[in-house]
Chains A and B, each alone.
Chain A
């Protein structure tokens, strides 16, 4: 993939900052300039080379304009009716005081 340096470094990027650090911490998808897969350019200049994104998204949007089916309505109703029962099922499932998360977001004393 190619990233547009001029976008990445605008309005200023000090030479002290390593390029990869800038990519990881500052790059937005707007700066992705070209993506090649298996030797073929799949994306360049914000356009996909094989598929019309606007047309595909329009089709997706249109396909979801239909009314919900009976089965979808039943599941939707069921979801809301079940939530309190499932909360009860897991109530007291483990002791939160004893819980040691895999990741700790900040230091703790």
Chain B
């Protein structure tokens, strides 16, 4: 990959503290193979590296690329027919959303992100109907879109195996409804074919496909590291909602015998421990931390993309 120098009237390089930052006037950054090698006065850098192409000008402001740390889909629920709602009711109104081409949908929002200066996205994938093969294919389409447009992605796939519509066991809630609604809801639940046991292999398949360089370590070390990361980096939407936080009340204890989600304050979040009142699994993502940035201004090597998890 060629080197280049990018210059600007102001280069914002890094935070100095909570309220201040560092910047260089008439500065520039030299990148080699996607890594920032030097930052300094533009004239000095250009004189020191003759022949290196110069981008930008004294009419630009340079900042590190932005990171979107929480992203789900391209076309929004509003665009797809669902009104904005409190989280718990939104699970219901979003059922109107039609199926969409995942590659094109991902590109749609990637265009908006890049055009806003976002270079890295944490894509938190919520739903793909079907079994492990369908989910893996869907994940592949999302990741392929980011690869094609040239954006960095850290990919996660949500763990869901219970309480998929309300904070209550799926079968119990279905049984509480009028008889004429039950068959359609049962068919809806049946469209999602992943069992908890499928998530481990899915995780490994995605990593083997999209991050083959990580296969250099032993399968045992890899498994242990995966388990450790899964324990340490769980992300739960329900902590953002009053109803979600309150769901540990014993209101529906009997309906959660196969619970797996990690409730606040319940320890280390080990999976497979039934937890009374555990919530809807929306946003219960697995994620692997990415390596630290190599320089104050983000121009990371594409060959060292952040880890992808499922």
Residues of A at the B interface (CB closer than 8 Å) are 1-6, 8, 19-20, 23, 29, 32-43, 46, 48-51, 53, 56-57, 59-60, 63-64, 68-69, 71-72, 74-83, 85-87, 89-90, 93-94, 99, 101-102
Contacts and interface: CB of A to CB of B under 8 A. Distances in A.
B150 A32 contact: no
A5 B181 contact: no
A32 B98 contact: no
A72 B99 contact: yes
Interface string B260-297: 00000000000000000000000000000000000000
Interface string B91-134: 11111101111001101100110111101100000000000000
B188 A60 contact: no
B184 A78 contact: yes
Contact of B242 (A77, A79, A94): A94
Q: Interface centre among A36, A57, A78, A80, by most B CB within 10 Å? A: A36
B185 interface: yes
A40 B60 contact: no
Contact of B34 (A39, A56, A57, A102): A39
A27 B282 CA distance: 33
B92 A19 contact: no
Interface string B53-77: 0011001111111100000000100
A51 B8 contact: no
Given A35-B119, A39-B4, A64-B100, A86 B92 contact: yes
B115 A46 contact: yes
A76 B95 contact: yes
Q: Interface centre among A1, A46, A79, by most B CB within 10 Å? A: A1
Contact of A99 (B1, B2, B151, B242): B242
Give the 8 A-B residue pairs with the shortest CB-CB distance, closest first.
A39-B34, A79-B95, A38-B302, A38-B34, A1-B117, A60-B104, A42-B150, A2-B60
A2 B92 contact: no
A8 to B, nearest CB: 7
A16 B156 CA distance: 43
Contacts of B301: 38-39
A1 B150 contact: no
B168 interface: yes
A35 B114 contact: yes
B246 interface: yes
A80 B94 CA distance: 10
A75 B92 CA distance: 10
Given A29-B115, A48-B111, A93 B243 contact: yes
Contacts of A102: 240
Contacts of B55: 2, 34, 36, 41
Q: Interface centre among B55, B56, B240, B242, by most A CB within 10 Å? A: B242
A52 B224 CA distance: 42
Interface string B9-41: 110100000000101000000011111000000
B73 to A, nearest CB: 13
B88 interface: yes
Interface string B162-179: 000110100001001100
B299 interface: yes
B48 interface: no
B10 A40 contact: no
A48 B101 CA distance: 21
Contacts of A82: 92, 95, 165, 177, 181, 185
B6 interface: yes
Interface string B143-163: 000001111100000000000
Contacts of B300: 37-38
B89 A48 contact: no
A36 B114 CA distance: 9
